[in-house]
Structure 1
Amino acid sequence: MRYVSRAPAPPLDRFIDDIYCMTGVPRHRRLNVPPMPSAHLMINLGEPVGLYDSDAAAPPAMLTDGWFMGMWSRRFTIEHHAPVRVVGVHFKPWGLAPFVGMPMVELQDRSVQADAIWAGSVDRLRDRLDGAPTAGSLLQVMETELRSRLVPQLSSGFQLVDHVAGQLEDSWGSVRVSTLTEAAGVSGNQLTVQFRTHIGLTPKRVARVYRFARVILDVDTRYSVDWSQVAHSAGYFDQAHFGKEFKNFTGHTPTAYLALRRRCPAQIGFPPDNGPMPG
């Protein structure tokens, strides 16, 4: 599998971590994906991709031409059925809202066909991407499309979320939400309403996802891991709570996760391996 990405130029870099393309045969057909601080757009130029929610009550989905995904508060599984050719966007938690014109709570923990949001234009975008001769030109086509979709005037509510969530990003969720709320001069209820509108999750849930992401990114599975120290560094003050959160988000205990990563080491230079794991 080949992964090529780049950060977009301003002003898109305020909303997007990277634009990427994945091509080739995946090392693992099924990937277990924990909650991470990203929302997504994926345009599929290959075969359909399966999506399975860890909530057994949620029906499986078959993702075809393109789809949006908001932030997830629980893990899900992606299944590739053939060689992969996907062009995608990792939005910051608050970054998708200015491109879709809908409350982000409607995209929480779910996928939505891109054509249902960008009506009638995804086929055109797929045709342009399919005709791009290089990975660099694929990324440029996607970046140009995103520039054309960015809402020019951002609401005061979005700017509040941008500011507070940016602090959660900078601190990896270690700053108390109550401290940020007080500094912003709003009530906890006001902030929660704006987060649900522009991110889909509450401020506390976003902070939890950032704390967990720091754990995943900090752990070097090639070496012995002091889980107590990792948990403390990430802002967990209760070892039992850390273990429960880790199991909920990954489906594994920390010890089992470490063993899995050692059996199936991450592909060097392939950033998605920092989160998703063999399913």
Structure 2
Amino acid sequence: MIYQTFEPHADLASVVKCYWTLEVPLEPQAAKQRIVPDGCLEMIFILGDNIKRYLSEDEFIIQPRAMVVGQITEPFIIQPTGYVRCFAVRFYPFGFANFVNTPIKNLADKETPILQLFGETLAEKLEQEIIRAVDDEERIAVVEAFLLKKFNEKATIDQVVKTTIEALLLTKGNTAINDIVKDDLSKRRQLERKFFKQVGLSPKQLGKVIRLQAALKLLLNQKTENLTRIAYDSEYYDQAHFNRDFKELTGLNPKDFLESDKMQLSSMFYTKD
């Protein structure tokens, strides 16, 4: 399993977190993998064999081969059907709204084919150029040319939304929204509307995801069994609060998360991101 990340062009660095590639050799019986929320949207091109995403224990869909995965509020369970090769763009929480007119909340918890977002002609051209590219460097050049043109055509994200997200990222999800809106109920509602449109989650939901990501990195990088210490370092109110949020967003308790063979892909993402 080979996972690599690449830095974006300076003109896109405010909205694109990274580009990433994943290659996994063919396995006769590939295990299902659990992908947990991370607060980011991704544009993914499947260059290898198809990938299933399970809707229930037995029901699944085949993911589109050129898609945007919106904000997810619960784990995605995926399973390769063969050889895995993917190229993707990972956007900051507010990043993708700079490239489309579609409200980001409409993309949540699903895969949207890029032709639905950019039109058939542009989407087909982009997908074919990505497929025909000789290496990842050329794929990055192709997608950056596309994104830079789109970025220049669009108005930038709402400044209050951007500032709020930056505060959440800086404090690992622990910024109190009331500190930003000053207990003004109308401002809070306005901020929430803007968040759903431009991010796909409420400020509170995004803060919860960002805080869990910080805890996941501690859990995976330190390999510690002291879950109380991780809860404290991540500024959860107590161990029960940590366990509750962890189970809600990953579908597992922390101990089972570490031991699950379905977490290999997520573990790799979060230890190297």
Q: Which amino acid aligns with 1:32?
A: R
Give the unaligned 5+ runs of structure 1: none
SS at match of 1:144: helix
Q: Contact 1:3–1:20 (CA<8 Å) still a contact in 2?
A: yes
Give 1:108-187 correspondences, 5 Å limit: 108-120=108-120, 121-154=122-155, 158-182=158-182, 187=187
Displacement after TM superposition at 1:71 (Å): 1.0
Displacement after TM superposition at 1:228 (Å): 0.9
C-alpha separation between the residues in 2 aligned to 1:172 and 1:201? 16
Q: Which has the higher mean CA deviation after the structures are superposed, 83-92 or 128-137?
A: 128-137
Give the unaligned 5+ runs of structure 2: none
Displacement after TM superposition at 1:47 (Å): 2.2
Displacement after TM superposition at 1:260 (Å): 3.0
Displacement after TM superposition at 1:198 (Å): 0.3
* Structure-2 change in CA distance of 1:152 and 1:115 (3 Å): closer
Displacement after TM superposition at 1:80 (Å): 1.1
The corresponding residue for 1:73 is: 73
* Structure-2 change in CA distance of 1:103 and 1:88 (3 Å): same
TM-superposition CA deviations, 1:141-195 (whole Å, max 9, x none): 222221122154525x622211111111111101111112239997111110110
Displacement after TM superposition at 1:101 (Å): 1.4
Q: Contact 2:34–2:265 (CA<8 Å) still a contact in 1?
A: no
Q: Higher helix proportion, which one? A: 2
The corresponding residue for 1:205 is: 205
Q: Contact 2:44–2:66 (CA<8 Å) still a contact in 1?
A: yes
C-alpha separation between the residues in 1 aligned to 2:183 and 2:154? 24
C-alpha separation between the residues in 1 aligned to 2:125 and 2:178? 45
Q: Contact 2:33–2:265 (CA<8 Å) still a contact in 1?
A: no
The corresponding residue for 1:247 is: 247
Q: Which amino acid aligns with 1:138?
A: R
SS at match of 2:168: helix
Q: Which has the higher mean CA deviation after the structures are superposed, 24-33 or 65-74?
A: 24-33
* Structure-2 change in CA distance of 1:183 and 1:86 (3 Å): farther
Give 1:199-238 correspondences, 5 Å limit: 199-220=199-220, 223-238=223-238
Q: Which amino acid aligns with 1:234?
A: S
Q: Which amino acid aligns with 1:33?
A: I
The RMSD of aligned alpha carbons is 2.9
C-alpha separation between the residues in 2 aligned to 1:26 and 1:246? 31
The corresponding residue for 1:272 is: 269
Give 1:64-103 correspondences, 5 Å limit: 64-103=64-103
Displacement after TM superposition at 1:241 (Å): 1.9
The corresponding residue for 2:54 is: 52
C-alpha separation between the residues in 2 aligned to 1:30 and 1:264? 9
C-alpha separation between the residues in 2 aligned to 1:266 and 1:115? 27
* Structure-2 change in CA distance of 1:264 and 1:177 (3 Å): closer
> How many equivalent pairs are there?
269
Normalising by structure 2, report the TM-score.
0.88
Q: Which has the higher mean CA deviation after the structures are superposed, 115-124 or 195-204?
A: 115-124
* Structure-2 change in CA distance of 1:109 and 1:265 (3 Å): closer
Q: Which has the higher mean CA deviation after the structures are superposed, 178-187 or 117-126?
A: 178-187
Identity, % of aligned pairs?
A: 20
Normalising by structure 1, report the TM-score.
0.86
Displacement after TM superposition at 1:215 (Å): 0.6
Q: Which has the higher mean CA deviation after the structures are superposed, 193-202 or 134-143?
A: 134-143
* Structure-2 change in CA distance of 1:26 and 1:162 (3 Å): farther
TM-superposition CA deviations, 1:62-89 (whole Å, max 9, x none): 1132111111111111211111121111
C-alpha separation between the residues in 1 aligned to 2:119 and 2:220? 43
Displacement after TM superposition at 1:205 (Å): 0.3
